[in-house]
Structure 1
Amino acid sequence: MLKNVLIWTVVAMVLMSVFNHFGSQGQGSSGRLDYSDFIEMVHQGQVSSVNIEGQTIRGVYTNGDAFTTYNPGDPGLMGDLLDNQVKVSAQPPEKQSVLMQIFISWFPMLLLIAVWIFFMRSVGGGMGGKGGPMSFGKSKARMLTDDQNKVTLDDVAGADEAKQEVGEIVDFLKDPSKYQNLGGNIPRGVLMVGPPGTGKTLLAKAIAGEAKVPFFTISGSDFVEMFVGVGASRVRDMFEQAKAHAPCIIFIDEIDAVGRSRGTGMGGGNDEREQTLNQMLVEMDGFEGNEGIIVIAATNRADVLDPALLRPGRFDRQVTVGLPDIRGREQILKVHMRKVPLADDVNPSYIARGTPGFSGADLANLVNEAALFAARENCKLVTQKHFEKAKDKILMGVERKSMVMNEKERRMTAYHEAGHAIVGYLVPEHDPVYKVSIMPRGRALGVTMYLPEEDSYSYSKRKLESQLSSLYGGRIAEEQIYGPDAVTTGASNDIERATAIARNMVTKWGLSDNLGPLMYEEEDKGGFMGTSRNANVSGEISKQIDVEIRNIIDRNYKRAQQILLDNAEKLEIMTEALMQYETIDSQQIKNIMEGLPPGEPKDWQERKPDDESSSGSSAAEDDVEAKTDADSDNKDDLVKDDLSGDKAESDSGEPKLH
């Protein structure tokens, strides 16, 4: 800012001096007099005095008015003036220096050059500077010095094993001789692998902050440009900068953007990407050593990286940064709660138990949402109630209180969600029902949410089939109450999820009695993440796969039908409770299933409407029909293809067909 102000001030001063100079030369131009008229007035005695400066004549009439004229070289001028009693004074002409004359004549060109240089520096830091128009090959890595990086390992929670793995790196950077005296070498590169939001970048930054060394950070996509060779040049420049600041850490985020396997066709066979990768391989373990430089990279797609990048001598240590367990979630919550004023009733352990599958970023978002809820209510402290609201918002979506539903559609949604809840409550090994709501949230008209009692990392065949039964509970409830012809499209996502689980049971997980423990479908690594392709199977096997999937679906569909038939009375009671309270919790569900009155939800007095009627009742009077129909279940209930225990996405259906 100061630099720009100074530059523009100098430009303004130069312009003002030039304009003043030209203005001083033109002074008196308004009273200019032709020379012939001047001589005539001298003869008539109308000129009182003159001042001669070179060829310029400035004079005064007898009436006091001033004038200016120019002497064309008349030799008789002085005689005319003296004969007519004109007072004459003279001054030598003002001579400009040669440099000033050159400057004035060249000033427009110099001004244009100065403006061009200024804008070039503003756009890119100069022709050859970092980021300038001629600096394609310069590294885009940003450096944080030890005094700028305040993050330490104490700020990283929920990744104890990963912190132990990188502890040696911190120790080596602080005292290299400890390892070198024993002939040991610290790993040249560390690859951090894990789902998004688990703290890979934070952990790398904490290593640099703990060791108090410079920290270079860059994204894998910053290397690749449309010009071949630019990425390789940037890699060389980045390592040259790192050598100048060694010992230091280079952190490459999303390295899969440039480190994908060569020759597989992935990424379109981009020559620029492959040259960039080749240069990175050479810099990490080539003829020239890079002592004191540790490269840390992060990715969630380690399976697509080039094998040469993962061999010892390059990224010879892989650190898995997974989703935190219940103790890790509690530690992460405590870290993020330091900046939030908490009420006495807030229990991080209780919140951690209710957030299985949450990553560190999800937990940070949970704390932030709770603080926002407290601010909306003008509270001074964040209470446990605010955390519960934030958890419901993240898991189930935002309540759409402005959306109105008529009575018929609200009741059908209540039957649908009650069917999910009853079947999920009664089938074995199913996650407990946490909350059921017919309040529209996001794209869903209703939500049935399950929360596991503890973290789970694998799924049994019994649990998977129980999920299949509960997924069809909503559709079956609609069919039993309103008939087969009245079934809505709200179960579209339930059907999609159930079909995916059944297919994976047969083709991936070996849970089919007829086809046995064989892999009939594998992930297509050359395509998008999560896509699959059929293995080499015959047409007869493909037919058996379809039959087996259908048998699994039919078996669990019939079980869910029988459960709802046996509990038809509980289905009605739960539906009425949903119509009255819109949202019921686990205690009410337990009371209904045990034959007791449901009672009021804990937060009913807070969200109770003034007229003790739900928002949908007024919709019945207005006869306004909702335009979308969807069904949503707990996102933790969705089984991932790889059974990694990741938190699944929330369920939502398709728009209602009119």
Structure 2
Amino acid sequence: MNDDKQPDGGNNWMKNLVIWVGILVALALVVSLIGERTTASPGKSLSYSAFLNQVKQGTVAKVEIAGTVVSGTMKDNSTFRSNLPAVVDPQLMPALTAANVDVVAKPEESPSIWQYLLVQSLPFVLMLAIAFFVLRQMQKSSGSGAMGFGKSRAKMLTEKHGKITFDDVAGIDEAREELQEIVEFLKDPTKFARLGGKIPKGALLVGSPGTGKTLLARAIAGEAGVPFFTISGSDFVEMFVGVGASRVRDMFEQAKRSAPCIVFIDEIDAVGRHRGAGLGNGNDEREQTLNQLLVEMDGFEANEGIIIIAATNRPDVLDPALLRPGRFDRRVTVPLPDIEGRVQILQVHMKKVPLAPDVDARTLARGTPGMSGADLANLVNEAALMAARLGKRLVAMAQFELAKDRVIMGTEWKSLVMTPEEKRMTAYHEAGHALVRIHEPASDPIHKATIIPRGGALGMVVSMPERDNYSYHRDKMYADLASVMGGRVAEEVIFGYDKVSSGASGDIQQATKLARAMVMRWGMSDKLGPLEYEEQQGETFLGYSQSQRHNMSNETALLIDSEIKRLIEDGHKRATQVLTENIDQLHAVAGALLEYETLTGDEIKRLAAGEGIGRDDGGASATPIPAAGTSIPKTKRPNGPFGNPAPAGA
């Protein structure tokens, strides 16, 4: 953008200069007045009686009378001063004449008109100054003046705030292409008007939090080079009815003066909710604000050259009148980035970080499915902070892996003290998950397994899919059910039925959720057929769609419950078969987890094949499992990622 003018900067400077000059002049007058009032005649102070006695004794040589103040000089050249009584003494002048005293009479000095006005008006000036200061602070706090509640709070974004272009936006190529047409129109309106085409008056950006909606809007303004006004939807709504509508009118008036321009309204659902959808009579202020916004966007008066871009993650609550053609003509979905998009986003944020040679953006992208652009930016920042705490000069892959664990699973529980038996059970639990996943061909490849407590889990097995999955096949769902139940089965096989712990509560919840979706939504039960027994509600709560069962008979409900139970029990049987047939592999993986705490997917595969993991063990197998009740050997903490040495210079 090329609008770098600051229209109010010079005026503010002149106002401040005038105020300070006035303050200095007032101070000078006060000091002058006080100085004149307090200036006293030099010499020894005498009472009036003592002054008369000196005159009668003949020691006074000269006097000077000014009003009620008399000063003079003695014959010994000493000076004196005294105050005359309010009533004139008739004996004073005869006594001075008899003593041959030189008398000089001076008229009484009266203050100037300016001094008089200053003294009289000083309290009022002080009160006005205090009132002016209070009103000025109210203007700054309200943003629109003490008497200007209806003024718009939209702020113009200029280059001094940081210019953003499409080069700074990665991972949302489709959304960027849809908005490229708006940029071309703002650069060359005649190109579209020549063929009778009309540019969309508004574009609604819809997407999950952190996907880059606001960043995309700033990039449009940066590419088009036009004024860009930004405001939040909550800035329109106030406690006084009518203020929001007034602010909408003022915002469009301000935009008309800067047309062509872009007005970006962030979180528009704060003001654009469906009218009459609330409890009771709704919110009059919000609905009046929405009505004014609808009229300004597409009413009797056309707003040429003003493009409204709004962003929200709750499009289901917006009023239908706001979404009709002529207002928000174009709805642009800003999705979560796929694996290629995550690679591009990571590369954009990694440009500001000194990287070690072993950092691979694609590997990180494969291990972060479902992360938004903001999540990936936070991941890079966490890795840089971690490297700085360790005193590294470069950010290595080890720091990125630890940062990813911290973002996904939470902070490591360093203060958690586990008994040897609890740690041993956790190792077998995670080893059971890992082995079943290795022996199920349809499962995703294992990235790593760890028994380091993080967040709410004592351990975790992390998978890394080769690509993003948008649909799932029946064989993969069966494999996932078996691998989820692998931890519970490992505890049963090794420790017995009575020693099974509550550590599989999350696994059971995940398996139940998957089996219920297979039966009730995806039609993967032969007994129930390809029917949907669960409907999704449009309203969401805490990010999850509310669902409920259709009206059904008791027999159907019992059959659904029995099918869900059958699928989970089948997964339990498959996991039991895998682990009992490969019990030696289970011991080997659990032993390595106890010794190293974290294993990579390749190391787990080598252990399952009967090979060593290659960590300074000369190719030997993992350390044997200690018996129950014995102490656990001290954990070997690796220096690099999962035991590999850190790269040179990192």
TM class, shorter-chain normalised?
Answer: 0.7 to 0.9
Q: Please show how residues 579-598 of structure 1 align to structure 2 within 5 Å.
A: 579-598=594-613
Q: Please show how residues 131-146 of structure 1 align to structure 2 within 5 Å.
A: 131-145=144-158
One-letter amino acid matched to 1:14? A
Contact 1:522–1:534 at 8 Å: present in 2 too?
yes
Distance of 2:611 and 2:506 partners within structure 1 = 32
Q: 1:61 to 1:493 in 2, by over 3 A?
A: farther
Cα offset, 1:589, TM superposition: 0.8
Q: Which of 88, 103, 122 is the equivalent residue of 1:74?
A: 88
Q: Please show how residues 256-295 of structure 1 align to structure 2 within 5 Å.
A: 256-265=269-278, 269-295=282-308
Cα offset, 1:6, TM superposition: 8.1
One-letter amino acid matched to 2:36? S
Distance of 1:520 and 1:163 partners within structure 2 = 36
Q: Which of 29, 38, 53 is the equivalent residue of 1:26?
A: 38
Distance of 2:349 and 2:276 partners within structure 1 = 44
Q: Which of 175, 180, 200 is the equivalent residue of 1:167?
A: 180
Equivalent in the alignment of 2:536: 522
Cα offset, 1:246, TM superposition: 0.8
Q: 1:115 to 1:339 in 2, by over 3 A?
A: same
Q: Secondary structure at the match of 1:263?
A: coil
One-letter amino acid matched to 2:595? Q
Distance of 1:82 and 1:460 partners within structure 2 = 131
What's the CA shift string for 1:264-303, capped at 9, x where partnerless?
Answer: 2279832222222221111111111111110111112222
Unpaired runs of at least 5, structure 1:
603-616, 623-658
Distance of 1:199 and 1:431 partners within structure 2 = 29
Equivalent in the alignment of 2:69: 56
Q: Which of 96, 103, 113 is the equivalent residue of 2:111?
A: 96
Q: Which of 26, 37, 52 is the equivalent residue of 1:14?
A: 26
What's the CA shift string for 1:172-220, capped at 9, x where partnerless?
Answer: 1011111112211100000111122221111110110111111111122
Judge which range, 323-332 or 395-404, deviates more: 395-404
Q: Secondary structure at the match of 1:135?
A: coil
Cα offset, 1:426, TM superposition: 2.3
Equivalent in the alignment of 1:558: 573
Cα offset, 1:16, TM superposition: 6.0
One-letter amino acid matched to 2:389? R
Judge which range, 84-93 or 56-65, deviates more: 56-65
Distance of 2:630 and 2:217 partners within structure 1 = 55
Equivalent in the alignment of 1:109: 124
Equivalent in the alignment of 1:177: 190
Equivalent in the alignment of 1:384: 397
Q: Please show how residues 191-270 of structure 1 align to structure 2 within 5 Å.
A: 191-265=204-278, 269-270=282-283
Equivalent in the alignment of 1:549: 564
Contact 1:57–1:69 at 8 Å: present in 2 too?
yes
Q: Please show how residues 338-349 of structure 1 align to structure 2 within 5 Å.
A: 338-349=351-362
Distance of 1:155 and 1:430 partners within structure 2 = 36
Q: Which of 443, 462, 466 is the equivalent residue of 1:430?
A: 443
Distance of 1:117 and 1:619 partners within structure 2 = 77
Cα offset, 1:13, TM superposition: 6.1
Equivalent in the alignment of 1:537: 551
Q: 1:81 to 1:404 in 2, by over 3 A?
A: farther
Judge which range, 239-248 or 438-447, deviates more: 438-447
What's the CA shift string for 1:455-506, capped at 9, x where partnerless?
Answer: 1112223323332332222223223322333333322222233323333333
Equivalent in the alignment of 2:507: 494
Give me the TM-score of the superposition, normalised by structure 1. 0.84
What's the CA shift string for 1:63-104, capped at 9, x where partnerless?
Answer: 736434145251634333333344433433333333431221
Q: Please show how residues 368-379 of structure 1 align to structure 2 within 5 Å.
A: 368-379=381-392
Distance of 1:78 and 1:517 partners within structure 2 = 129
What's the CA shift string for 1:211-255, capped at 9, x where partnerless?
Answer: 111111112222222222222222222111111111111111111
Is 1:120–2:132 an aligned residue pair?
A: no
Distance of 1:174 and 1:29 partners within structure 2 = 81
What's the CA shift string for 1:92-137, capped at 9, x where partnerless?
Answer: 33333334312211212211211221232134239xx833333322
Contact 1:585–1:601 at 8 Å: present in 2 too?
no
Contact 1:520–1:537 at 8 Å: present in 2 too?
no
Q: 1:225 to 1:544 in 2, by over 3 A?
A: farther
Cα offset, 1:553, TM superposition: 2.4
Equivalent in the alignment of 1:642: none
Contact 1:146–1:208 at 8 Å: present in 2 too?
no
Contact 1:340–1:382 at 8 Å: present in 2 too?
yes
What's the CA shift string for 1:421-461, capped at 9, x where partnerless?
Answer: 12222234222111111112233321211111111112223
Contact 2:166–2:216 at 8 Å: present in 1 too?
yes
Contact 1:437–1:583 at 8 Å: present in 2 too?
yes
Equivalent in the alignment of 1:404: 417
Distance of 2:250 and 2:295 partners within structure 1 = 13
Q: Indicate the RMSD between aligned Cα atoms, in angstroms.
A: 3.2
Unpaired runs of at least 5, structure 2:
1-11, 618-628, 635-650
Percent identity at matched positions?
53
Contact 1:57–1:68 at 8 Å: present in 2 too?
yes
Q: Secondary structure at the match of 2:566?
A: helix
What's the CA shift string for 1:309-337, capped at 9, x where partnerless?
Answer: 11110111011111222222222222222
Q: Secondary structure at the match of 2:176?
A: helix
Distance of 1:526 and 1:203 partners within structure 2 = 26
Equivalent in the alignment of 2:638: none
What's the CA shift string for 1:24-78, capped at 9, x where partnerless?
Answer: 3134499765545544443344655433333333445677364341452516343
Cα offset, 1:527, TM superposition: 4.8
Q: 1:545 to 1:488 in 2, by over 3 A?
A: same
Is 1:298–2:311 an aligned residue pair?
A: yes
Distance of 1:58 and 1:158 partners within structure 2 = 94
Judge which range, 584-593 or 138-147, deviates more: 138-147
Equivalent in the alignment of 2:643: none
Distance of 2:577 and 2:590 partners within structure 1 = 18
Contact 1:310–1:316 at 8 Å: present in 2 too?
yes
Give me the TM-score of the superposition, normalised by structure 2. 0.85
Q: Which of 461, 476, 479 is the equivalent residue of 1:466?
A: 479
Contact 2:366–2:464 at 8 Å: present in 1 too?
no
Q: Which of 475, 478, 496 is the equivalent residue of 2:488?
A: 475
Distance of 2:520 and 2:17 partners within structure 1 = 69
Distance of 2:432 and 2:326 partners within structure 1 = 58
Q: Which of 443, 460, 465 is the equivalent residue of 1:447?
A: 460
Distance of 2:305 and 2:222 partners within structure 1 = 16
Equivalent in the alignment of 2:378: 365
Equivalent in the alignment of 2:3: none
Q: Secondary structure at the match of 2:145?
A: coil
One-letter amino acid matched to 2:254? Q
Distance of 1:94 and 1:509 partners within structure 2 = 106
Q: Secondary structure at the match of 1:472?
A: helix
Contact 1:248–1:294 at 8 Å: present in 2 too?
yes
Q: 1:502 to 1:87 in 2, by over 3 A?
A: farther
Contact 2:316–2:538 at 8 Å: present in 1 too?
no
Equivalent in the alignment of 1:650: none
Distance of 1:428 and 1:318 partners within structure 2 = 41
Q: 1:304 to 1:344 in 2, by over 3 A?
A: same
Higher Cα Rg, which structure: 2
Q: Secondary structure at the match of 2:539?
A: coil
Distance of 1:46 and 1:428 partners within structure 2 = 129
Judge which range, 418-427 or 309-318, deviates more: 418-427
Cα offset, 1:594, TM superposition: 2.0
Q: Secondary structure at the match of 1:89?
A: strand
One-letter amino acid matched to 1:398? T
Distance of 2:16 and 2:522 partners within structure 1 = 65
